[in-house]
Amino acid sequence: MIRGVIFDLGGTLAAPLNPEDLDRRNTLALLAWLRQKSGPLDDAFVDVLVEARQAAFARRDGAREVTAAEVLGPVLQRYGLPHAPSFTQAAEETFFEPELASMRALPGANALLAWVHDRGLREGLASNASSQYFVVECCRRLGFERWLDPILSSAGVGWTKPTSPIFETILTHWSLAPVMW
């Protein structure tokens, strides 16, 4: 018997309106914010951060997630910028704002979530993403959060799909044991 459905975010429930160069657009927004906070900052910051994120994704070992904060902190430090956790979190939120603004619910996503809910099934979300903030905020803005509990990212759990920890976390939250087919 099916008791719940675990959805993915990107490409399943939502997608960016304009997916080209999101990392660069995100980094340009962060650069503008950092200049307001800290004064002049070299334009090379954009390439440094984009390359650091690409390198982090390349060194994923197929299971462990490299978070946005793990990439941002050293880059901020390299430029002599504050890199305390609270500042890094604010930088992460600023970084993802252009991408969040471009996210759109895919046609039928909210109707599907309502349909599953109306059948008495639990609904959760497991998304490979470098930021738990991004995933939760995207779900909030698109109206998905009312259906989904929990909302998890690989950044929040520490492990990417398809490894089991993210799914086990949801099943534990639901007090359900995994079922093997």
The pLDDT tens digits for 162-180 are: 999 999 999 999 999 887 6
Q: Distances in Å between the alpha carbon of 61 and those of 13, 21, 77, 146?
A: 27, 24, 25, 33
H-assigned helices in 17-131: 22-38, 44-58, 68-78, 85-102, 109-118
Q: Is residue 6 within a helix (H) or strand (E), and if so which, with residue range?
A: strand 4-7
Q: Is residue 16 within a helix (H) or strand (E), and if so which, with residue range?
A: strand 14-16
Q: Are residues 90 and 125 in the same domain?
A: no
Q: Are residues 95 and 109 in the same domain?
A: no
Q: Is residue 14 within a helix (H) or strand (E), and if so which, with residue range?
A: strand 14-16
Amino acid 157: pLDDT: 96
Q: How many distinct structural domains can be found in the chain?
A: 2
Q: Is residue 123 within a helix (H) or strand (E), and if so which, with residue range?
A: strand 122-127
178 belongs to a structural domain: no
Pairing of strands 14-16, 103-105: antiparallel
Q: Which residue has the higher pLDDT, 160 or 178?
A: 160
In a 10 Å sphere around its CB, with 0-12 CB exposed, 13-18 middle and 19+ buried, how is residue 38 labelled? middle
Asked whether the beta carbons of 33 and 94 are under 8 A apart, the reply is yes
Q: Report the chain's mean pLDDT, rounded to a whole number.
A: 95
Q: Are residues 79 and 116 in the same domain?
A: no
Q: Are residues 60 and 109 in the same domain?
A: no
Q: Are residues 54 and 92 in the same domain?
A: yes
Q: Are residues 162 and 95 in the same domain?
A: no
Q: Are residues 146 and 97 in the same domain?
A: no
In Å, how far from its chain's centre is CA 39?
28
First and final CA of the chain: distance in angstroms? 11
The stretch 41-64 carries a mean pLDDT of 91
The stretch 38-52 carries a mean pLDDT of 95
Q: What percent of the chain has pLDDT over 90?
A: 87
180 belongs to a structural domain: no
Q: Is the pLDDT score of 19 beyond 80?
A: yes
Q: Are residues 29 and 59 in the same domain?
A: yes
Q: In whole angstroms, what is the distance from residue 144 CA to residue 89 CA?
A: 23
- Which of 78, 102, 126 is a domain's end point? 102
Amino acid 181: pLDDT: 63
Q: Are residues 163 and 142 in the same domain?
A: yes
86 belongs to a structural domain: yes
Range of the domain at 96: 22-102
Q: What percent of the chain has pLDDT over 70?
A: 99
The pLDDT tens digits for 94-130 are: 999 999 999 999 999 999 999 999 999 999 999 999 9
Q: Are residues 29 and 40 in the same domain?
A: yes
DSSP 66: P
Q: Are residues 26 and 76 in the same domain?
A: yes
β-sheet bridge partners, residue 16: 103
